[in-house]
């Protein structure tokens, strides 16, 4: 999985500092923290007592916490659609138990977290054991090609994005984004006073082509001064390179190399947001819709890591310009609010400085809960499957099972949609995601719906059709997200925004997926029957729904 | 406890908006969030299906979480010094158990949090049940005198401060602070590009006088333009009004009224940070040093709330200019990273907007853990003590027990210090805190140590003595915080910074407190023996330790 490219000389912390200090936001340059409890400049001949009585920090002693012990009953496999469990095995097979004790046994204290440490004030960058697991995870799947990298634990990926934007973005910064994306990024960028700019996205089934349009990107950056004579060329790329949200496309390795090369040339920082990377989806087989390669015997943690997962930009990052954002939200729980950022030591140190001056560390409860789960999964895997396995393999085994369950969910929804009337009649196409939890439903517009000569008018026509479709969907009983609501710049993308984003994440049963597909089909039939006829039920304005 | 002052007419959301929009930071005024999944402007005659199939948000279904059930063994009382428990009672008396189930029973789902909701993506302002408890807490102890107030859950008080600074502070804003304070506030203020200004603090045992010097404050604000001709008068007051950090002083109600009046006159927003308010400490009785009124029969939740706790600024806030910051760190666990802010609805809504654009909600795991503890404590209290008690009283009972244990810790440390040689010899004074976890040790400087004519030189002399004392302390084995490290503006306060902050929070046993007091005493004796004699052991520069 990792790509071994020789680098001429190892990059040091100071190299990173020199390279990336100019990329920091103006405000970040003035952020200095000087904790009041730090002691500096002590005489060299001073011999501090070994067991000093600590009367400094306002930390409640651990017997003042109301919590004595936390025990967790955990799943060995995710629940199956429509059932709380994956199968009808015994409780012992389905579940395990681990705990967060008041004090860990010293023999495991470097791996297991306890209440005395995890529920106390702790380091801004995260609990040492969890940082260690996060590093192992990066090393195992996406080994960076330089050595001086580090990891910081954050309070979820929104927090990661917020901190990355605080680090790089000010009024002179432009953040380049896939034209359709997780648009909350714009909120983070605006918060830091910068602006976003869309890059064209190739949404195609061609695995080499899909993802950012590199020709478009290259032209834009080569001719920046021509296109934007008044805009500084201080750039950050925000990209969901694997299982892109909302389109589900994944950049091929050759495309990543091309994009990386462009970013080096034009000094673009890369924020690689990868919330869905573990949720790899094998090809859907319409002839055998419930086929799930994850259930087959040859699938193993080894093959999952080696053949299935896609390599991060960190594996080709010769200059240290990539920050990789991972999260425990999708394969753990969103409520953990736990993510991590990997990148070169200088940038991670700057992010730690931001943590100190804003949120401090992520919840120690969340960190302890996931840390001890990683440890429990790991030791169990070593006991039951492979005594030589890395401690992180138990977690990867869980990730693989989750990917298998998402594949199952994708299959069930896709089967139902393929069997629906509207699909058979060609009213829409279903774009298959390579990864993640979303699929796109592309409306096959009738030419007369979008017949205006002017692009701006045609844009409104497209919006009005999509809004009418939304109304139909809401009445028949199906709740999607409108593609045009996920654009960085609506005008730029409206012609390609004739789609819905649907997810197979949240629905609870096969029956509900079937009902959803049926309702969606009914809504499409209504659209095709009613739209631009005397039967239009709602008198939408020429621009569709107001305020959308 | 609450102060009933009639207000002429109820203030509405729009009144607050009108009053406080000008107080927002420039950046906040441009912060607009428009979530992509929100639907607006639907036709009035559209009838959404009742049980729509949800294919919108990327939320993993709850059986995909690895967590099936979380069980918590909790303490009914905090552990006693030197022991894991408060007494030798049976396990049943010492501990209870509660859980976070996958699904709560519908009959208690409005009070108990479950995994399906608490571990999922959730509302930025916090879980509804926890918000409800937080409101009950405010209502029970510090009932605001206006109605349109609300609460937002944050990820700890650093996060609260960070968000409040983002809300109000820009380069034109000055944050007024107690001259000695929790100086991390400066980091938050600088992060938002503003500046801090110290206000004189009266550190005295006189309960009416202690706290901010109102004459100083009044003069400063009345003559702002004279003192700061180039500084805008856009002001925020950051105050730890109860159990001030580091001095332990508490503002009397009459002082609060005076300060509030000044703030109204000069349009100053008040950030009332109250991390220690529940840790009320009865007077120390040197003749009976281990006396602890919390152990006496007449102490009850009722009397704790009515007679012991001090009223918040919210109880006198006729204009809605107070934001009150509470935390679960000191009476729960710091690792929860859970706090809340109470204030008028407009400002809380702006803070919610900031949450949406930065961190999102606080950890759902932390929220669930504390929520269900509040519920468990509450129902247990109703069963065992008072069936008519408010659900929040069980938690207040815990807070009272924690205050009792801090009183015990204070007693043990103070007794040991009172018995120490250096104390008896008058080398320092011990300032008694009214509340909290800190006490001040004020060095009785020999006149010849600080004999310079120029203030600036005398400041250095004071610093050098304190630094020398620190060296002695570290060698003898006692770790305090230097008072001068907790100044907003060192020059402004150095003459009053001849003290150490010590805490009785973190030490584990009576023996360690005694050792700490002994080591501190030894260090003081060394200081008085060696300082400015040929026996000075370390050759400190005239300015003391470099970099401090």
What pLDDT does residue A9 have?
76
Task: Check: CB of residue B106 under 8 Å from CB of residue A323.
Answer: no
- Is the pLDDT at B8 greater than 90? The verdict is no
What pLDDT does residue B432 have?
96
Is A476 touching B (CB cutoff 8 A)?
Answer: yes
Report, at the CATH architecture level, how domain B419-530 is classified: Alpha-Beta Complex (3.90)
Q: Give Cα A319 distance to the centre of its chain.
A: 23
Inter-chain CB proximity A79 and B67 less than 8 Å = no
Beta partners for A176? A197, A237
Helix or strand or coil: residue A187?
helix
Which residue out of A48, A335, A417 would a mutagenesis test of the B interface target, given it has the greatest number of B Cβ atoms within 10 Å? A335
Is B240 touching A (CB cutoff 8 A)?
Answer: no
Task: Check: CB of residue B192 under 8 Å from CB of residue B166.
Answer: yes
* Overall pTM surpassing 0.95 (yes/no): yes
- Is the pLDDT at B19 greater than 50? The verdict is yes
Query: Which residue in A140, A142, A115, A113 sits closest to A128, CA to CA?
Result: A113
Task: Check: CB of residue A443 under 8 Å from CB of residue A437.
Answer: no
Inter-chain CB proximity A334 and B184 less than 8 Å = no
DSSP strands (E only) in B16-122: 53-54, 67-75, 95-100
For the segment B413-467, what is each residue's pLDDT rounded down to a tens digit?
999 999 999 999 999 999 999 999 999 999 999 999 999 999 999 999 999 999 9
Terminal C-alpha separation, chain B: 43
- Is the pLDDT at B3 greater than 60? The verdict is no
Query: Which residue in A181, A60, A112 sits closest to A487, CA to CA?
Result: A181
Query: Which residue in B36, B58, B55 sits closest to A474, CA to CA?
Result: B55
Task: Check: CB of residue A257 under 8 Å from CB of residue A241.
Answer: no
Task: Check: CB of residue B310 under 8 Å from CB of residue B277.
Answer: yes
Range from B84-88, B99-103, B536-540 carrying the lowest mean pLDDT: B84-88
Below-70 pLDDT ranges, chain A? 1-8, 86
- Contact list in B for residue A42 (CB cut-off 8 A) is 471, 474, 545
Alpha-carbon span A157 to B12, nearest angstrom = 36
Pick B506's closest partner by Cβ from A27, A59, A515.
A59
What pLDDT does residue B88 have?
72
Fold of the CATH domain B1-68+148-279+316-361: 3.40.640
Is A103 touching B (CB cutoff 8 A)?
Answer: no
Pick B478's closest partner by Cβ from A52, A66, A402.
A52
Q: What is the CA radius of gyration of chain B?
A: 25
What pLDDT does residue B82 have?
85
Helix axes A345-357 and B184-191, enclosed angle (nearest 10): 110
- Contact list in A for residue B37 (CB cut-off 8 A) is 481, 485
Mean pLDDT, chain B, rounded, equals: 96
Inter-chain CB proximity A49 and B333 less than 8 Å = no
Query: Which residue in A372, A383, A409, A381 sits closest to A302, CA to CA?
Result: A381
What pLDDT does residue A6 have?
52
Chain A nearest-CA distance from B530, in A, is 15
For the sheet with A173-178, list strands across it: A149-154, A339-344, A322-327, A269-273, A234-239, A173-178, A195-199
Chain B nearest-CA distance from A389, in A, is 21
What pLDDT does residue B460 have?
97
Q: What is the CA radius of gyration of chain A?
A: 25
DSSP B201-232: EE--S-TTT-EE-HHHHHHHHHTHHHH-TTS-
For the segment B244-258, what is each residue's pLDDT rounded down to a tens digit?
999 999 999 999 999
Inter-chain CB proximity A162 and B357 less than 8 Å = yes
**What are the boundaries of each domain within chain B?**
1-68+148-279+316-361, 419-530
Alpha-carbon span A211 to A243, nearest angstrom = 10
Question: CA separation (Å) from B148 to A16, A355, B130?
Answer: 51, 33, 19
Alpha-carbon span B177 to B487, nearest angstrom = 10
- Contact list in A for residue B71 (CB cut-off 8 A) is 70-73
For the segment A441-482, what is each residue's pLDDT rounded down to a tens digit?
999 999 999 999 999 999 999 999 999 999 999 999 999 999
What pLDDT does residue A1 have?
43
Pick A72's closest partner by Cβ from B70, B437, B478.
B70
Inter-chain CB proximity A475 and B49 less than 8 Å = yes
Task: Check: CB of residue B211 under 8 Å from CB of residue B202.
Answer: yes
Which residue out of B41, B58, B360, B540 would a mutagenesis test of the A interface target, given it has the greatest number of A Cβ atoms within 10 Å? B58
Is A487 touching B (CB cutoff 8 A)?
Answer: no
Report CA dihedral (A301, A304, A305, A311) to the nearest 10 degrees: -160
Structure tokens given for A422: 């509207």
As a whole-number percent, the residues of chain B with pLDDT over 70 amount to 98
- Contact list in A for residue B52 (CB cut-off 8 A) is 474, 477-479, 519
Beta partners for A324? A272, A342
Is B451 touching A (CB cutoff 8 A)?
Answer: no
What pLDDT does residue A8 have?
63
Structure tokens given for B498: 């001849």
Beta partners for B323? B271
Alpha-carbon span B548 to B545, nearest angstrom = 6
Alpha-carbon span A515 to A520, nearest angstrom = 8
Helix or strand or coil: residue A67?
strand
């Amino acid at each position: 999985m990792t790509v071994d490219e020789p680098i001429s000389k190892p990059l040091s912390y100071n190299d990173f500092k020199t390279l990336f200090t100019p990329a920091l936001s103006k405000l970040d340059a003035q952020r200095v923290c000087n904790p009041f409890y730090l002691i500096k400049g002590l005489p060299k001949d001073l011999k501090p007592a070994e067991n000093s009585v600590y009367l400094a920090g306002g930390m409640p002693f651990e017997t003042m916490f109301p919590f004595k012990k936390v025990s967790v009953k955990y799943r060995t496999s995710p629940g199956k659609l429509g059932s709380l469990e994956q199968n009808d095995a015994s409780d012992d097979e389905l579940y395990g138990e681990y705990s967060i004790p008041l004090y860990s046994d010293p023999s495991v204290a470097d791996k297991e977290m306890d209440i005395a440490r995890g529920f106390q004030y702790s380091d801004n960058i995260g609990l040492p054991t969890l940082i260690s697991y996060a590093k192992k995870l990066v090393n195992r799947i996406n080994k960076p090609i330089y050595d001086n990298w580090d990891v910081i634990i954050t309070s979820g990926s929104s927090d990661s994005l917020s901190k990355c934007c605080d680090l790089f973005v000010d009024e002179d910064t432009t953040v380049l984004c896939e034209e359709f994306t997780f648009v909350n990024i714009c909120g983070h960028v605006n918060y830091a006073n910068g602006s976003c700019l869309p890059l064209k996205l190739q949404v195609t089934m061609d695995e080499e082509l899909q993802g950012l349009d590199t020709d478009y990107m290259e032209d834009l950056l080569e001719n920046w001064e021509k296109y934007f004579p008044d805009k500084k060329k201080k750039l950050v790329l925000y990209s969901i390179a694997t299982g892109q949200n909302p389109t589900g496309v994944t950049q091929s390795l050759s495309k990543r190399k091309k994009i990386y090369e462009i970013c080096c040339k034009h000094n673009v920082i890369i924020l690689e947001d990868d919330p869905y990377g573990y949720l790899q989806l094998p090809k859907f087989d319409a002839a055998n819709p419930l086929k799930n390669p994850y259930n087959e015997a040859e699938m193993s943690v080894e093959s999952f890591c080696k053949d299935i997962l896609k390599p991060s930009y960190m594996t080709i990052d010769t200059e240290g310009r990539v920050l990789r954002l991972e999260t425990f939200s999708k394969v753990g729980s969103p409520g953990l609010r736990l993510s991590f950022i990997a990148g070169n030591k200088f940038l991670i140190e700057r992010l730690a400085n931001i943590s100190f001056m804003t949120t401090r560390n992520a919840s120690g409860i969340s960190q302890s809960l996931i840390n001890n789960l990683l440890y429990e999964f790991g030791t169990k895997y070593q006991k039951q499957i492979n005594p030589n396995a890395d401690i992180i393999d138990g977690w990867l085994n869980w990730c693989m099972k989750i990917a298998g369950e998402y594949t199952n969910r994708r299959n069930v929804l896709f089967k139902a949609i393929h069997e629906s009337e509207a699909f058979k009649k060609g009213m829409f196409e279903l774009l298959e995601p390579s990864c993640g939890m979303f699929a796109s439903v592309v409306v096959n517009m009738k030419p007369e719906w979008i017949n205006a000569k002017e692009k701006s008018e045609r844009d409104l026509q497209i919006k009005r059709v999509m809004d009418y479709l939304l109304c139909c969907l809401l009445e028949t009983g199906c709740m999607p997200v409108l593609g045009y609501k996920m654009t960085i710049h609506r005008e730029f993308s409206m012609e390609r925004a004739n789609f819905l984003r649907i997810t197979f994440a949240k629905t609870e049963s096969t029956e509900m997926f079937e009902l959803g597909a049926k309702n969606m089909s009914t809504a499409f039939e209504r659209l095709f029957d009613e739209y631009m006829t005397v039967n239009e039920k709602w008198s939408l304005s020429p621009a569709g729904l107001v305020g959308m």
